[in-house]
């Protein structure tokens, strides 16, 4: 993985299926889930549902949210907050797209590993 | 173009040299002349051998709606009248900032006091083999149009690479000129940067209806041909013949001159708010610049830039602040508009209006009471109004309810209560366009006792077809009955006002073929549905169109996507199929090997007589399946809304009580029905005698063998609400038992709602209905069975085998690995 001081280069945007997700394995910590919405926006969250730690990367992506595969909580992709009546929050990781490459914030990723 | 003397005698004014005789360069000069016609002596260099024309109108020229003369902005007289020297057809090759001169290809050198770079963009050519073959062109200037027209005259096939604005306009023009056009687009939806999935789908349909072939998700591997273009080969091996290939995959700011001259260049030539580059004597404007991190590919921002530029040149600086853009596709008869941000996100609210009969889709995205984006298809009349509200950041809370109906409606009604608007309608105003029902008819039908939406739909048919008048009917109910309204039928989810049965009926009646089509025709109120309706629609379409419908993987729950059961720690359990609960040493050995090789922490015998291997990591799944496949085992579908297991007892083969070969029948039933997708999970069991050791009477379909034949039971359920089966009928032969089973499954597949088990389904429709369809109606049963077997001919494809061979391998591997220790080291 190539990297700069602040950003980690993860790969091409196209590698993430539309309305789907891929993960980044973080040694010694939770994976980070990368999502790509129907409109092509990319988001990164810890791959861990605030409810009972379901793998959000395995959920159904719709609009700007993902439905957790375990008990169907809906989690906002941009804030990580549970939507509707459920309460809880998954940490988000800043992402940026540069020339078709997906970059995620190094500091937040290190925090995930901690 | 003849060369005029560049410097009239004794002109002492400052000399402004413009590189680029395009839209921005000339507009900048126009703006300057409007402010002070005598301030500068102006010379314009243009690479193209012609006067300044409206580039965006190249599309209508290609389509035959306009000719070149129609699109000229400034003719030769304009240059002469304003004393502008034009050097056309002679591109500038170098800038010498120290000497303050520019040098052209023909060797002409010209000194400047101020230099303006307006070189526009270069088309991006994807670096595939064959890209330089004659017949491969971009779509940027009049020469490209001439090449396309010549190719079209010769007839034949054209391929357009890129399904964005430019590509689609090229495809439209070529197709009107008689070529057979294929558009190759990498992304799943057309114009994905401007349109959402719903609008992209409508657009694709409309273009296909006009005879174009649109391939989405298609990646170009190479352009083939011997001395000239002969075709395009895709990465999946498809070869599309073509005598012309138009590359319209994007543009890059044309910055080479500026970079060579040592000016600051990022994605474009970097300028400040007054369009001044890193050299105060040099300005830049148009698509070639980068302002505040942004580059633009549309004309509207250029106009804003040119104003600020001219203000600066006459020392009345105003300052450019960036632009918000909107897009319209110039394909006659197809109206598409998009503006702002439509990617949704927190606090964003979608207001969606769909009108299937008119082919309209409108979506306005509101955040904090302000419009942040709009996507319109089919009816773009209000595009400019929405765009205006968006740019002005106007508070739309008062207009909220009527916003989507457009300016005429919202402005007329102001903040009017929609109920009041309905009350004001006359009695003969039409409420339901599909069934021609007036307000008077709806009101009288409510007065006669139809006190719910369902009842109104059932009696006068209002809102019973497309459903777009549901809101009006609900308002009429509320007006007529006050608080007595009964809530309508349970809808599928909050994205629609339709219930499951309505949706299914319409899918079949209107022969719908895709999820976006259903959402459009049935007026979904969200752009891409939710986790409730997507899987349901996917199933309904799959059931209605066996062999034809392409399953949408992103609309399936993870278990059905990965063909394994997700466990609470995120690992998966894997259950290989064991036909009728039978196994053998090879299979057992393969399972034992998998358990050891992949360190599965647990193996368990399931309630359905299978072995379940727990704790398999997602990335190991394909290898596990490959090992199990090698021993002849296939996916057990223990994860799916599908046939799970057929549980059997030993039966007459071994048991002293056995009356029939229950094990053998179980194996046959499982071979017949595995792999079939259903509304919910489906379990079968066969017991060899009424002692019923296989617990057949709490299964979805159970067979209890007796001396004289087979008792067939349906609708049983273990689980929270235990329900014993109902006896469907008794048959004499194994074949009849199989036929009834197939017919019953198909009836369940066609009639039950998604996520409805057989038990609640039978309680809802009544056993009598099932008996009438399966037992009493022999031809009907036979037809059901035939439909089931037809559908099965497409579904008995081991999903494991495909994936073990590498299909969708990327779903299993992480995209990247990050090791902090290495990082820190
Ligand atoms: C087919 C088509 C349809 C379009 N439709 C729309 C639309 O519907 N709406 C919209 O907003 N936008 C549309 N656009 C985009 C719009 O045309 C551009 O945004 C606009 O033309 C950019 O203006 P510009 O002056 O920066 O570049 P250009 O208009 O490209 O002008 C740059 C000029 O500089 C010349 N040049 C480059 N290098 C040199 C050099 N070294 N020496 C001398 N001359 C040089 C080029 O030959 C060119 O003539 C369309 C574009 C195309 C091609
Ligand atoms: C009416 C009383 C019953 C009698 C006389 C009876 C008798 C038998 C016999 C003789 C066998 C075959 C054993 C063998 O493999 O050799 C058997 C198997 C079995 N019985 Fe029963 N049984 C009765 C009721 C039940 C009930 C109520 C259940 C559970 C709900 C049950 C569950 C089983 C199971 C799971 C098997 C193994 C079936 C297989 O996998 O082949 N039995 N029973
Ligand atoms: S159901 Fe009857 S035939 Fe089957 S094992 Fe039990 S006793 Fe034997
Ligand atoms: S763990 Fe995500 S909803 Fe329960």
Can you give the pLDDT at residue B351? 85
Cβ–Cβ gap A64/B346 under 8 Å: yes
Task: Give distance in angstroms: CA of B719 to centre of ligand 4.
Answer: 21
How far apart CA B663 and CA B585 sit, in angstroms, is 18
Q: Is residue B241 part of a domain?
A: yes
How far, CA to CA in Å, does B721 sit from each of B67, B693, B752? Answer: 74, 21, 18
Q: Give the residue among B349, B295, B345, B344 at the shortest CA–CA distance from B323.
A: B295
In chain A, residues with a C-beta closer than 8 Å to the C-beta of B187 are 18, 40
Minimum CA distance residue for ligand 1 atom 51: B56
Could you tell me if the CB of B695 is within 6 A of ligand 2? Answer: yes
B1 pLDDT more than 50: no
Ligand 1 center to B55 CA (angstroms): 6
Q: Is B119 in the pocket of ligand 1 (CB under 6 A)?
A: yes
The closest of B45, B44, B43, B35 to B13, measured between CA atoms, is: B43
The per-residue pLDDT for B824 is 39
Closest residue of A to B192, CA-based?
A39
pLDDT (tens digit per residue) in B485-539: 555 557 888 888 888 988 998 898 888 999 999 998 888 888 888 888 999 999 9
Per-residue pLDDT tens digits for B277-287:
999 999 999 99
Here the contacts of B122-128 (C-beta below 8 Å, separation 24 or greater) are B122/B251, B122/B252, B122/B253, B122/B254, B123/B247, B123/B248, B123/B250, B123/B251, B124/B247, B124/B249, B124/B250, B124/B251, B124/B252, B125/B247, B126/B161, B126/B220, B126/B247, B126/B249, B128/B220, B128/B221, B128/B222, B128/B223
Chain B residues with CB-CB distance to A40 below 8 A: 187, 192-193, 343
Contact B346 A3 (CB under 8 A): no
* Counted domains in chain B: 5
Same domain, B116 and B257: yes
Which pLDDT value is given to residue B279?
96
Which mutation among B44, B86, B119, B121 tests ligand 1's pocket best, with the greatest number of atoms within 8 A of CB?
Answer: B119
Q: What is the pLDDT of residue B769?
A: 94
B647, B741: one domain: yes
User: What is the pLDDT confidence band of residue B412, given thresholds at 50, 70 and 90?
Assistant: low
| Chain B nearest-CA residue for A79 | B346
ipTM of the prediction greater than 0.85, yes or no: no
Q: Does A34 touch chain B (CB under 8 A)?
A: yes
Q: What is the pLDDT of residue B420?
A: 65
Residue ranges of E strands in A1-114: 7-12, 20-26, 32-36, 42-46, 60-62, 65-67, 74-76, 92-93, 95-98, 101-105
Last residue of some domain: B589, B609, B635?
B635
Cβ-Cβ contacts under 8 Å for B344 (sequence gap 6 or more): A37, A39, A41, A63, A64, B350, B365, B527
- Per-residue pLDDT of B75-110, as tens digits, reads 999 999 999 999 999 999 999 999 999 999 999 999
pLDDT tens sequence across B678-723: 999 999 999 999 999 999 999 999 999 999 999 999 999 987 788 9
pLDDT band at B463 (very low <50, low <70, confident <90, very high): confident
Q: Indicate if ligand 1 lies below 6 Å from the C-beta of B57.
A: no
| Shared domain check, B762 and B666 | yes
The residue contributing the CA closest to ligand 1 atom 52 is: B56
C-beta separation of B684 from B700 below 8 A: yes
Whether A101 is in a domain gets the answer yes
Across B755-766, average pLDDT: 92
Is the pLDDT assigned to residue B29 strictly greater than 50?
yes
Closest CA to B577 of B637, B639, B636: B636
Cα of B646 vs centre of ligand 2, distance in Å, is 16
pLDDT digits (tens, 9 = 90+) for A84-104: 878 889 999 999 998 889 999
Q: Are residues B232 and B276 located together in one domain of the fold?
A: no
Relative to the alpha carbon of A51, which ligand is closest? 4
- Residue in chain B nearest A21 by alpha carbon: B811
Residues B814, A18: C-beta atoms closer than 8 Å: no
Between chains, do A25 and B814 touch, taking CB under 8 Å as contact?
Answer: yes
Provide the 3-class DSSP secondary structure of residue B517: helix
Residue B139 φ/ψ, nearest 5 degrees: -130, 90
Q: Out of A18-27, B75-84, B239-248, pick the least confident.
A: A18-27
Based on the domain organization, do B236 and B369 belong to the same domain?
no
User: Both tokens of residue B458?
Assistant: 């059932």
Please give the structure tokens belonging to residue B186.
């990498």
Which CATH number does the domain housing residue A61 bear?
2.102.10.10
C-alpha B520/C-alpha B541 separation (Å) is 15
Q: Nearest-CA distance from A60 to chain B in Å?
A: 6
Which run of H or of E encompasses B16? strand B14-19
Is residue B616 domain-resident?
Answer: yes
**Residue B5, pLDDT above cutoff 50:** no
Residue reference for tokens 């899987």:
B535
Are both B210 and B305 inside the same structural domain?
A: no
Interhelix angle B778-795/B734-751, nearest 10 degrees = 80
A58 part of a folded domain: yes
Measured CA distances, B471 to B463, B496, B497, B718 (Å): 9, 12, 9, 41
DSSP string, B758-815: HHHHHHHH-HHHHHIIIII-HHHHHHHHHHHHHHHHHH---HHHHHHTTTTGGGTS-S
Q: Which of B657, B664, B686, B693 for a ligand 2 pocket mutation test, highest count of atoms within 8 Å of Cβ?
A: B693
Any residues with Cβ below 6 Å from ligand 3, and which?
Answer: B 649-651, 655, 657-658, 662, 687-689, 691-693
Is B733 part of a structural domain of the chain?
yes
Same structural domain, B651 and B778: yes
Closest Cβ–Cβ partner in A24, A39, A54 for B344: A39
**Ligand 4 first shell, C-beta below 6 A:** A 49, 51-54, 68, 70-73
The CATH number given to whatever domain includes residue B680 is 3.30.413.10
**Pair B764, B655 in one domain:** yes
Domain boundaries, position B185: 136-249
Residues B104 and B208 in one domain: no
Q: How far apart are CA B218 and CA B185, in angstroms?
A: 6
Q: Per the domain annotation, does A96 fall within a domain?
A: yes
Residue A2 lies in a domain: no
Q: Is residue B542 a part of any domain in this protein?
A: no
Find the closest chain B residue to A114 by CA distance.
B820
Nearest to B519 by CA among B197, B751, B191: B197
Ligand nearest to the CA of B662: 3
What number does the ligand 4 atom closest to the CA of A49 have? Answer: 2
C-alpha closest to that of B694 among B719, B672, B713: B713
Q: Is B817 in Cβ contact with A62 (below 8 Å)?
A: no
B647 and B792 housed in the same domain: yes
| Alpha carbon B732 to its chain's center | 52
At B356-380, the pLDDT tens digits run 777 888 899 888 889 999 999 988 8
Of A76-85, B150-159, B449-458, B642-651, give the lowest mean pLDDT range.
Answer: B449-458
Q: Is residue B204 predicted with pLDDT exceeding 50?
A: yes
β partners of residue B241: B231
Q: Which residue in chain B has the smallest CA separation from A56?
A: B570
Rounded to a whole number of angstroms, the distance from the CA of A23 to the nearest CA of chain B is 5
Residues B336 and B261 in one domain: no
Instruction: Please indicate, yes or no, if residue A27 is contained in any of the structural domains.
Output: yes
Residues 6+ away with beta carbon under 8 Å from B104: B45, B87, B90, B91, B92, B93, B110
Please name the residue whose Cα sits nearest to atom 27 of ligand 1: B120
Four-CA torsion B157, B158, B163, B164, nearest 10 degrees: -150
C-alpha–C-alpha distance, residues B747 and B457, integer Å: 26
Distance from CA of A92 to the nearest CA of B (A): 13
Q: What are phi and psi of B644, to 5 degrees?
A: -85, -80
How many distinct structural domains can be found in chain A? 1
Stronger pLDDT, B543 or B464, i.e. the higher one: B543
Residue B605 belongs to domain with CATH number: 3.90.480.10
pLDDT 10s digits, B772-805: 999 999 999 999 999 999 999 988 877 777 776 7
| Residue nearest atom 4 in ligand 4 by C-alpha distance | A71
**pLDDT over 50 at B632, yes or no:** yes
List CB contacts (< 8 A) between B342 and chain A. Answer: 39
A91-105, B165-179, B442-456, range with the lowest pLDDT: B442-456
Domain at B141, CATH number: 3.50.50.60
Shortest alpha-carbon distance between residue B430 and chain A (Å) = 34
Examine residue B449 and state whether it is found in any structural domain, yes or no: no
CB B780 within 8 A of CB B740: no
User: What domain range includes position A41?
Assistant: 7-113
pLDDT exceeds 50 at position B825 = no
Chain B residues close to A52, C-beta within 8 Å: 568
CA B124 to ligand 1 center in whole angstroms = 14
Average pLDDT, chain B: 88
**Is residue B119 a contact partner of residue B106, using CB atoms and an 8 Å limit?**
no
Q: What is the mean pLDDT of chain A?
A: 87
Higher-confidence position of A112 and B120? B120
Residue A106 lies in a domain: yes
Q: What global pTM score does this model have?
A: 0.66
Of all ligands present, the nearest one to the C-alpha of B657 is 3
Q: Are B308 and B412 contained in the same domain?
A: no
In a domain, B127, yes or no: no
Structure tokens at B545: 């169109």
What share of chain B has pLDDT > 90, as a percent? 55
Per-residue confidence (pLDDT) for residue B413, from 0 to 100? 47
**Mutant choice from B816, B824, B825 vs A, greatest count of A C-beta within 10 A:** B816
């Amino acid at each position: 993985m190539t990297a700069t001081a602040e950003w980690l280069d993860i790969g091409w945007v196209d590698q993430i299926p539309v309305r789907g997700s891929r993960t980044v394995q973080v040694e010694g910590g939770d994976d980070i889930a990368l999502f790509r919405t129907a409109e092509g926006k990319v988001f990164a969250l810890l791959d861990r549902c605030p409810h009972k730690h379901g793998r959000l990367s395995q959920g159904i992506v719709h609009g700007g949210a993902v439905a957790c595969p375990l008990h169907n909580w809906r989690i906002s992709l941009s804030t990580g907050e549970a939507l509707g009546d459920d309460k809880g929050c998954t940490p988000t990781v800043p992402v940026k797209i540069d020339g078709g490459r997906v970059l995620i914030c190094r500091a937040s990723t290190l925090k995930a590993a901690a | 173009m003849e060369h005029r003397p560049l410097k009239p005698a004794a002109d002492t004014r400052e000399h402004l040299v413009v590189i680029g005789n395009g839209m921005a360069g000339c507009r900048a000069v126009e703006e300057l002349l409007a402010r002070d016609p005598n301030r500068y002596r102006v010379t314009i260099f243009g690479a193209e051998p012609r006067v300044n024309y409206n580039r965006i109108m190249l599309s209508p020229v290609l389509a035959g709606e306009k000719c070149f003369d129609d699109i000229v902005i400034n003719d030769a007289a304009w240059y002469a009248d304003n004393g502008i020297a034009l050097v056309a057809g002679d591109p500038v090759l170098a800038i010498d900032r120290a000497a303050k001169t520019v040098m052209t290809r023909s060797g002409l050198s010209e000194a400047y006091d101020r230099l303006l770079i307006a070189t526009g963009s270069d088309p991006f050519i994807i670096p595939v083999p064959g890209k330089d073959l004659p017949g491969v062109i971009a779509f940027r200037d009049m020469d490209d149009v001439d090449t396309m027209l010549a190719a079209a005259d010769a007839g034949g096939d054209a391929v357009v690479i890129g399904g964005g604005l430019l590509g689609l306009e090229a495809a439209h023009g070529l197709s009107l000129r008689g070529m057979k056009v294929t558009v190759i687009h990498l992304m799943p939806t057309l114009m994905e940067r401007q349109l959402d999935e719903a609008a992209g789908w409508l657009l694709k349909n409309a273009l296909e209806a006009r005879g174009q072939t649109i391939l989405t998700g298609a990646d170009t591997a190479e352009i083939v041909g011997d001395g000239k273009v002969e075709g395009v080969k895709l990465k999946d091996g498809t070869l599309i013949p073509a005598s012309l290939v138009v590359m319209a995959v994007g543009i890059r700011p044309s910055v080479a001159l500026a970079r060579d001259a040592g000016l600051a260049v990022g994605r474009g030539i970097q300028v400040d708010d007054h369009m001044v580059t890193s050299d105060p004597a040099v300005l830049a404007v148009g698509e070639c610049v980068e302002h505040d991190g942004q580059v633009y590919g549309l004309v509207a921002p250029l106009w804003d830039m040119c104003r600020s530029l001219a203000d600066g040149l006459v020392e009345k600086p105003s300052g450019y602040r960036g632009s918000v853009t909107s897009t319209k596709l110039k394909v006659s008869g197809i109206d598409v508009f998009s503006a702002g941000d439509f990617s949704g996100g927190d606090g964003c609210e979608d207001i969606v209006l769909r009108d299937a009969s008119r082919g309209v889709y409108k979506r306005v995205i509101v955040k904090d009471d302000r419009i942040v984006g709009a996507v319109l298809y089919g009816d773009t009349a209000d595009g400019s109004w929405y765009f205006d509200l968006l740019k002005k950041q106007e508070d739309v809370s008062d207009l909220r309810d009527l916003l989507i109906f457009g300016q005429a409606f919202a402005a007329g009604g102001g903040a009017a209560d929609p109920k009041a608007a309905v009350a004001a309608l006359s009695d003969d105003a039409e409420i339901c366009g599909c069934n021609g029902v007036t307000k008077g008819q709806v009101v009288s039908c409510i007065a006669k006792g139809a006190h719910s939406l369902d009842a109104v739909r059932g009696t006068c048919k209002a809102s019973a077809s497309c459903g777009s008048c549901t809101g009006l009917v609900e308002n009429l109910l509320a007006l007529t009955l006050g608080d007595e309204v009964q809530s309508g039928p349970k809808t599928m989810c909050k994205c629609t006002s339709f219930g499951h049965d309505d949706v299914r009926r319409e899918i079949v009646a209107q022969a719908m073929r895709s999820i976006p089509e259903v959402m459009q025709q049935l007026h979904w109120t969200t752009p891409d549905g939710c986790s409730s309706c997507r899987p349901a629609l996917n199933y309904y379409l799959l059931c209605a169109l066996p062999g034809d419908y392409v399953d949408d993987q992103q609309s399936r729950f993870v278990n059905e996507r990965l063909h394994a059961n997700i466990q609470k720690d995120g690992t998966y359990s894997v259950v290989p199929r064991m036909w009728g609960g039978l196994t053998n040493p090879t299979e057992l050995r393969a399972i034992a090997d998998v358990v050891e090789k992949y360190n599965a922490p647990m193996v368990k015998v399931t309630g359905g007589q299978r072995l379940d291997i727990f704790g398999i990591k997602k990335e190991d799944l394909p290898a596990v399946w490959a090992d199990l496949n090698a021993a002849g085992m296939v996916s057990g579908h223990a994860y799916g809304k599908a046939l799970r297991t057929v549980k059997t007892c030993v039966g007459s083969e071994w048991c002293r009580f056995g009356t029939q070969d229950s094990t053998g029948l179980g194996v046959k039933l499982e071979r017949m029905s595995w792999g079939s997708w259903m509304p919910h999970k489906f379990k079968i069991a066969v017991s060899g005698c009424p002692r019923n050791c296989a617990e057949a009477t709490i299964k979805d379909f159970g067979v209890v063998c007796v001396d004289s034949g087979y008792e067939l039971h349906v609708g049983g359920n273990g689980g929270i609400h235990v329900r014993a089966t109902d006896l469907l009928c008794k048959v004499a032969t194994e074949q009849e038992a199989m036929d009834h089973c197939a017919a019953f499954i198909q009836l369940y597949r066609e009639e039950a709602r998604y996520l409805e088990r057989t038990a609640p389904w039978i309680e809802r429709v009544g056993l009598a209905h099932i008996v009438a369809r399966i037992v009493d109606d022999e031809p009907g049963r036979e037809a059901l069975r035939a439909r089931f077997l037809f559908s099965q001919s497409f579904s008995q494809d081991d999903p494991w085998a495909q994936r073990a061979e590498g299909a969708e391998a990327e779903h299993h591997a992480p995209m990247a690995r990050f090791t902090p220790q290495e990082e820190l080291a």
